[in-house]
């Protein structure tokens, strides 16, 4: 087998939620446990940090990974989904898993995989654990795929659990209320393992407190004692623009940080990130202030994170972001409106079929000019259907089906001083040639 045939085995022989949706989702950890046992339980051979949440878990995972790297620890990072390459999901110190490792894994375990028939995600999780264990990493930062309780990553026994935010997404699997969704996310809370809650929410607080009490897990609501306030932008000594946040609160000795993730919504993630660092330091990890600052200032450079409020070009300013649920879109729109004065805003938009389209449309600005597109994925909503639905909410525009053609169309219409945003779906961002 070569790399391409190994990928085809992963993508085609096994169900993949990213491509097919509901049929790939399992409320059962048995296959993951069997697969890990087959591999010698690699998940028990390294220390891990487990992160769940509706929004912010990817940014939080990459931020912690970057800080641990700067502190000198060999750090594994498991995230999903990928944008350009499958290998983005599994990294050590920001370096993607080699093609040869994937080939060798599939080759060595193909017969067992065909017998067990795990999902794409189950097998990918097991691959990452096996790789991290064999490479002898110090720590792994592990992001859940969806939910928590039945997520394949939930076979680890971490040193710290983090839940970033609870919002409406994947309701058909996780529940139709915030407390039900929180219950699923709370499934990552482990016996006597500290848990950080990034955002306090009235509908979810009791759920987390009850689960933490049941598990005797020390619980910290980060935003109750640490506050991050946006304080403009800075061009640092390396010539890169970063966001400056003023940090307040009794639980933080840090007063100011520079962040290379430019979305203003990172103010919601920072309290949880800083509280997590405090817990890790209390557990004996050696992370000094200089390493913390460097880790937060160089998340993109250290980890290769893409698609988080990323500038694709200027004149006209063109920004993409992978935010795709109600809260994520609202955060995006709020920041876009702070950038826009008299300029025309163009929204290049694509979505998947299984989202709450009406609730998203309610958040989108009516004065924007829309270019509706669709990613080359089975779950994508046809661009024409998206246009027709959007029209019912006063959102008007044209259809240009292919993602890059849609972006080119918007660029052709926009003046140099205008503003273009492209997103609505992770799949749309993944297909951008300029990414």
Query: Mean pLDDT, the chain, as a whole number?
Result: 92
Lateral strand order in the sheet of 397-399: 310-313, 317-321, 419-423, 345-349, 369-372, 397-399
CB 141 within 8 A of CB 61: yes
Poorest-pLDDT segment among 125-134, 337-346, 418-427: 337-346
Whether residue 171 has pLDDT greater than 50: no
Lowest mean pLDDT across 163-177, 295-309, 358-372? 163-177
Query: Cα 21 to the chain's mean position, in Å?
Result: 17
8 A C-beta contact, residue 335 and residue 264: yes
In this prediction, residue 22 carries a pLDDT of 47
Given its phi and psi angles, is residue 9 left (phi above 0), alpha (psi -120 to 50 degrees) or beta? alpha
Give domain limits for the chain. 3-303, 310-430
What's the pTM?
A: 0.93
Match 């620890």 to its residue by tokens. 73
Phi and psi dihedrals of 160, rounded to 5? -155, 135
One DSSP character per residue, 90-149 reads EEETTEEPPHHHHHHHHHHHHHHHHHH---HHHHHHHHHHHHHHHHT-SEEEEE-SS-ST
Residue range 414-433, pLDDT digits in tens: 999 999 999 999 999 999 99
- Residue 21 is predicted with a pLDDT of 46
Residue 341: band (very low, low, confident or very high) from pLDDT cuts 50, 70, 90: confident
- Residue 338: exposed, middle, or buried by beta-carbon count in 10 A (0-12, 13-18, 19+)? exposed
Relative orientation angle of helices 120-135 and 30-38, to the nearest 10 degrees? 30
Say yes or no to pLDDT of 174 above 80. Answer: no
Residues in the chain: 435
**Nearest-angstrom CA–CA distance, 216 and 203:** 21
Roughly what angle, to the nearest 10 degrees, separates helices 289-297 and 57-70? 130
DSSP state of 23: G
Model confidence pLDDT, tens digit, residues 66-116: 999 999 999 999 999 999 999 999 999 999 999 999 999 999 999 999 999
Average confidence (pLDDT) over 333-345 = 90
Among the CATH numbers 3.40.5.10, 2.30.30.230, 3.90.190.20, 1.10.3720.10, which is that of 310-430?
3.90.190.20
For 182-239, what is each residue's pLDDT tens digit?
Answer: 999 999 999 999 999 999 999 999 999 999 999 999 999 999 999 999 999 998 888 8
> Rounded distance, CA 386 to CA 371, Å?
10
- Distance between CA atoms of residues 25 and 356, nearest Å: 19
Residue 29 CB coordination number (10 Å) = 18
Question: Is 19 a residue whose pLDDT tops 50?
Answer: no
Tell me the residue ranges of DSSP E strands in 130-218. Answer: 139-143, 160-163, 195-197
- pLDDT > 60? residue 169: no
> How high is the pLDDT of residue 340?
79
Whole-angstrom Cα Rg for the chain? 21
DSSP string, 312-350: EETTTEEEEE---SHHHHHHHHHHHHHH-SSSPEEEEE-
Per-residue pLDDT tens over the stretch 260-270: 999 999 999 99
d(CA 226, CA 156): 28
Write the CATH number of the domain with boundaries 3-303.
3.40.1190.10
Identify the H or E element spanning 231: strand 227-235
Q: Looking at residues 306-333, what average pLDDT do you find?
A: 93
135 pLDDT more than 60: yes
Q: Which helix (H) or strand (E) holds 304?
A: none
Residue 324: what pLDDT?
A: 82
pLDDT tens by residue, 20-66: 444 445 678 999 999 999 999 999 999 999 999 988 999 999 999 99
Chain centre distance of CA 3? 26
* C-alpha distance across the termini of the chain, in Å: 30
Closest-CA residue to 184 (of 174, 194, 193):
174
């Amino acid at each position: 087998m070569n790399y391409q045939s190994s990928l085809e085995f992963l993508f085609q022989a096994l169900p993949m939620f990213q491509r097919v949706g509901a049929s790939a989702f399992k409320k059962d950890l048995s296959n993951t446990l069997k697969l890990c046992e087959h591999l010698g339980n690699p998940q028990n051979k390294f220390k891990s940090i487990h992160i769940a949440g509706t929004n912010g878990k990817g940014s939080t995972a990459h931020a912690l990974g970057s800080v641990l790297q700067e502190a000198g620890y060999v750090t594994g990072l498991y995230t999903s989904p990928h944008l350009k390459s499958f290998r983005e999901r599994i990294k050590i110190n920001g370096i993607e898993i080699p093609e040869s490792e994937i080939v060798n894994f599939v080759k060595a375990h193909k017969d067992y995989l065909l017998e067990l028939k795990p999902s794409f995600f189950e097998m990918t999780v097991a691959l990452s654990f096996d790789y991290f264990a064999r490479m002898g990493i110090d720590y792994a930062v592990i992001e859940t795929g969806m939910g928590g309780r039945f997520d394949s990553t939930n076979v680890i026994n971490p040193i710290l659990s983090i839940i970033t935010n609870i919002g409406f997404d994947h309701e058909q699997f996780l529940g139709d209320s915030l407390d039900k969704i929180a219950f699923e996310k709370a499934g990552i809370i482990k016996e006597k393992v500290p848990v950080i809650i990034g955002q306090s929410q009235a509908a979810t607080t009791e759920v987390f407190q009850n689960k933490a009490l049941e598990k005797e897990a020390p619980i910290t609501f980060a935003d109750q004692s640490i506050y991050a306030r946006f304080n403009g932008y800075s061009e640092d000594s390396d010539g890169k623009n970063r966001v400056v946040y003023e940090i307040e609160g009794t639980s933080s000795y840090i007063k100011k940080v520079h962040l290379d993730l430019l979305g203003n919504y990172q103010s919601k993630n920072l309290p949880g990130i800083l509280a997590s660092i405090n817990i890790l330091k209390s557990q004996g990890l050696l992370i000094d202030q200089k390493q913390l600052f460097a880790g937060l200032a160089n998340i993109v450079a250290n980890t290769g994170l893409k698609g988080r409020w990323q500038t694709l070009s200027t004149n006209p300013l063109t920004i993409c972001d992978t935010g795709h649920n109600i809260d994520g879109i609202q955060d995006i729109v709020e920041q876009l409106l702070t950038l826009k004065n008299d300029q025309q805003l163009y929204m290049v938009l694509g979505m998947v079929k299984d989202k709450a389209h009406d609730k998203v449309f309610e958040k989108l600005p009516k004065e924007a000019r829309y270019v509706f597109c669709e990613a080359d994925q089975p779950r994508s909503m046809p661009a024409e259907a998206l246009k027709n639905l959007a029209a019912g909410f006063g959102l008007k525009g044209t259809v240009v089906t292919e993602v890059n053609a849609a972006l080119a169309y918007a660029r052709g219409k926009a003046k140099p001083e205008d503003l273009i945003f492209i997103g609505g779906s992770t799949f749309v961002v993944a297909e951008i040639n300029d990414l």
